[in-house]
Amino acid sequence: MDTLFLGLDHPLRAFSLRVELEVGRETLALVGPSGAGKSSVLRTIAGLLRPAEGRVALGSEVWLDTRPETGHPISLPPERRSVGLVFQEYALFPHLSVEANVGFGGRARVAELLERFAISELARARPAELSGGERQRVALARALARDPAVLLLDEPLSALDAHTKANVRAELGELLRELELPTVLVTHDFEDAAALADRVGVIVDGRILQLGRSAELLAAPASGFVASFTGANLLPGRARAGLDGLTEVALDAGGTAYSVTAGTGRVGLAVYPWEVALSREVPSDSAVNHLHGSVTSLVSLGNRVRVRVGPVTAEVTTASAERLALREGELVVASFKATATRLVPL
C-alpha cells in the first residue's frame, strides 16, 4: 500500500487553501469550521478540483503536478485516479437502484459488497427509500466497488440521526481498520475524529493549524479553535507575567485566573470541564483558580453532571453533584489548577 502525498495552493473565495499532507496506511481526519476548505482538499485529491498549484501522488504514481520537472503539467481526470470518494450527502444516483449504484464503478464485486454491507435485501430499492444509515452503507459500498487505493470520506456521519450515529460510527471504524487504505475523513465532530482517525488535522481558513493524534490535540490545543473544538472551556482574557512564574490572565468575563503556560496580550484560557471542580466554599486544596458564579444549568448525563457556572462548564460525578445538592441559581465556586490550563492564541 502506497503513501498518499498532497500539496496544494489554491485561491478560494475568501482565502487561499494551502495544505501539505502525507497519509500512509492510516486514517487522517480533517476537522474545521464550515468553509475552511476541507471538502476542497478531498476534491483536489479526487481530481474534481484542479488547484492553481499542487501535487498529488500515490507512491510513485503522480496524479497531479502543476509544475513537474519534466515539462508539461500532469493532471489525471478523476476516472483515472484510484480513489473512492464518499460525498457529504452521499450523492447516490437517485434514478438507479442500490444495486446499480454500487455496480456503477464496477460490476465484479457487487454481490459481495451488498452482502458485506448487509444491504442485499435492498438491492432493488431506490436511494429515496432508504434510511440515513442504509444510504451511508450504499455510498461506502459504491466507493469500494472499484477497489480504490485511497479512500476519501466527506462528513460520512453528519447526515445521520443522532441515535443511529453511534452504531454506524462503530461499523465504519471497523471497516476502516480492515481496509487499511490511506484514508482522509472530513468531520466536524471531535468525537468522530477521535474515534475513527489515527491523526487529526485541524484546518481553519485554508491552513492546517495543528496536526497530531487526538490525545495530543486534547493535551495541547494550539489555538482557541482547537481548544473549543475538543470540548474545552475557552475564557478570553489578557495575559501578563505574574508571580511564581505563573501567567496572570484578566478574564473578559471578570476575575483573574492563573496558568502555568507562558503568554502575554490577548489569549484564551482553555480548561477542560473535567478539570473543573465545584464546591460551596473556596476549597483549601492546591487549585489556585476560583471562579464564583451561580449555576445556570445542570445537565445530567448518566453518571456525570455537566454544570454551567458563569462562563465555565464543569463536569462532575453525579455523586458529588448530589452531595453538593446543586440547584440552578445557587452560588458555587468553580476551581481548577493552574497546571490544568493552557493559554492559546484566539
Ligand X SMILES: Nc1ncnc2c1ncn2[C@@H]1O[C@H](COP(=O)(O)OP(=O)(O)OP(=O)(O)O)[C@@H](O)[C@H]1O
66 versus 261: smaller Cβ distance to a copy of itself: 261
**Strand pairing of 304-309 and 247-251?**
unpaired
Closest approach, Cβ 173 to another protein, in A, equals: 23
Taking CB under 8 A as the rule, does residue 48 contact another protein? yes
- Pick one of another protein, ligand X, Mg ion, none as the site partner of residue 36 (Cβ within 5 to 8 A by kind): ligand X
Which segments of 95-240 does DSSP mark as H helices, in order? 98-103, 110-116, 132-144, 162-179, 190-196, 214-219, 224-229
Helix/strand/coil for 232: coil
Q: Rule CB under 8 A: is residue 94 a binding residue for another protein?
A: yes
- Check: CB of residue 344 under 8 Å from CB of residue 305: no
Q: Which of residues 12-31 bind a copy of itself (CB under 8 A)?
A: none
Residue 308 found at the interface with a copy of itself (CB under 8 A):
yes
Applying the rule CB under 8 A, the residues between 165 and 204 that interact with a copy of itself are 166-167, 170, 173-174, 177, 188-191, 194-196
Size of the site for ligand X (CB under 6 A): 11
Shortest gap between Cβ of 225 and ligand X (angstroms)?
A: 13
The stretch among 2-10, 102-110, 228-236, 276-284 that binds a copy of itself (CB under 8 A) is 228-236
Residue choice 60, 67, 71, 79 for contact with another protein (CB under 8 A): 79
Determine contact, residues 76/58, Cβ cutoff 8 Å.
no
Residue 136 or 313 with smaller CB distance to a copy of itself: 313
Task: Of 195, 136, 144, give the one whose Cα is nearest residue 164.
Answer: 136
- Please give the Cα distance from 273 to 306 (Å, whole number): 8
Among residue numbers 38 through 77, which ones bind ligand X (CB under 6 A)?
38-40
Cβ atoms < 10 Å from Cβ of 116 = 16
Give which of another protein, Mg ion, ligand X, none residue 93 binds (C-beta under 5 to 8 Å, depending on kind): another protein
Q: Write the CA distances from 166 to 137, 169, 224, 315, integer angstroms.
A: 14, 5, 27, 22
Q: By C-beta, is 134 or 154 nearer to Mg ion? A: 154
14 binds ligand X (CB under 6 A): yes
Q: Quick one: which of 161, 114, 107 has its CA closest to 138?
A: 114
**Three cell numbers at 340?**
490544568
Q: Which residue has the cell 478523476?
A: 78
For residues 252 to 291, the per-residue mask of contacts with a copy of itself, x marking binding by CB under 8 A and - elsewhere, is --------------------xxxx----------------
Report d(CA 184, CA 198) in Å as an integer.
Answer: 10
Return the C-alpha cell found at 202: 485541524
Binding partner of residue 39 among another protein, Mg ion, a copy of itself, none, CB cut-off 5 to 8 Å per kind:
Mg ion
d(CA 255, CA 235): 11
- Here's the x/- map for Mg ion, 29-68, by CB under 5 A: it reads as ----------x-----------------------------
Of 60, 71, 303, 325, the residue at the interface with a copy of itself (CB under 8 A) is 303
How would you list the strands of the sheet with 207-212, edge to edge? 74-75, 61-65, 53-58, 4-11, 16-23, 207-212, 199-204, 27-31, 183-187, 150-154, 83-86
Binding residues vs Mg ion (CB under 5 A): 39
Binding residues vs a copy of itself (CB under 8 A): 33-34, 132, 161-164, 166-167, 170, 173-174, 177, 188-191, 194-196, 214-215, 218, 225, 228-229, 231, 272-275, 296-297, 299-304, 306, 308, 313, 328
